[in-house]
Amino acid sequence: MKLLLIDACVSQRGPASRTRALMEAFLESFRAARPEAEIETAVLERLDIAPFTPEALDRRDALARAGEFSAPVFGLARQFQRADRIAVAAPFWDLSFPAVLRVYIEHVSACGLCYHYEADGCHGDCRASRLAYLTTGGDLERPESLGVLYWRQLAAMFGIPRFDYVFAGGLDLDPAQAPSIMEDACARARALGREF
């Protein structure tokens, strides 16, 4: 079983990133429950990726039409498509998530590899049976919080049947409450990791 961990924990806090703490709580219990699992990590800050230009999209589309999915431009999409489980960790920024994660999504959203179209619409082709989204924010979680909604919809587009998430929200409203909010969220992340 292969877990793909997408580390988008972009933070000025560095190692003290609250999203990183949530991710590590999830990983700790996942590893304990599934010591045989292979874990691949995509640390987005270390990847050399940029938004697609129209010309780059034309080149990628031509490769896709030719079935050349072994081309380097599809490397991240192949990794995403082949994972058995996927976990994404990203802070709640500007009502969604850091821009580097959106660029990553452009790279894995490869039609013909991760999804395809039929007469009745889009069908996902990813192997994963579950996707977890781990996020932290200074403000409270709201029904319209786009990070969660966006990843729920992406999971459906990619054909991933189960979506779970942990949102540690309200961390900047009362700094005195932040440790207990994080403690509760990390407990939920550990519980999710155990059964993921």
Band (13; pLDDT cuts 50, 70, 90): confident
With a cut of 90, say whether residue 101 has pLDDT above it: yes
Rounded Cα distance, 8 and 90, in Å: 5
Taking all residues of the chain, what is their mean pLDDT, rounded to a whole number? 96
Residue with tokens 């609250």: 18
Asked whether residue 145 carries a pLDDT value surpassing 90, the answer given is: no
For 155-188, how does the pLDDT look when each residue is reduced to its tens digit (9 = 90+)?
999 999 999 999 999 999 999 999 999 999 999 9
Is residue 19 very low, low, confident or very high in pLDDT (cuts 50, 70, 90)?
very high
Can you tell me the distance from the alpha carbon of 55 to that of 106, in angstroms, rounded to the nearest whole number?
14
Q: What is the DSSP letter of 186?
A: H
Pairing state of beta strands 115-118 and 85-89?
A: unpaired
Rounded CA gap, 29 and 10, in Å?
Answer: 23
What is the token pair recorded at 151? Answer: 């990843």
Has residue 144 got a pLDDT over 90?
no
Residue 11: band (very low, low, confident or very high) from pLDDT cuts 50, 70, 90: confident
Q: 165 and 135 in contact (C-beta within 8 Å)?
A: yes
Q: How far apart are CA 145 and CA 151, in angstroms?
A: 11
Establish how many alpha carbons lie within 13 A of residue 57's alpha carbon, considering only the half-sphere containing its beta carbon: 7
Task: Measure Cα distances from 121 to 15, 57, 79, 117, 126 in Å.
Answer: 43, 21, 24, 5, 16
Q: Tell me: pLDDT of 14 over 90.
A: no
CA 178 to each of CA 138, 165, 171: distance values in angstroms, whole numbers, following the listed order: 9, 19, 5
The Cα 151–Cα 157 span in angstroms is: 10
For the stretch 60-90, pLDDT in tens is 999 999 999 999 999 999 999 999 999 999 9
Strands (E), the chain: 2-7, 38-43, 85-89, 115-118, 121-124, 130-136, 162-168
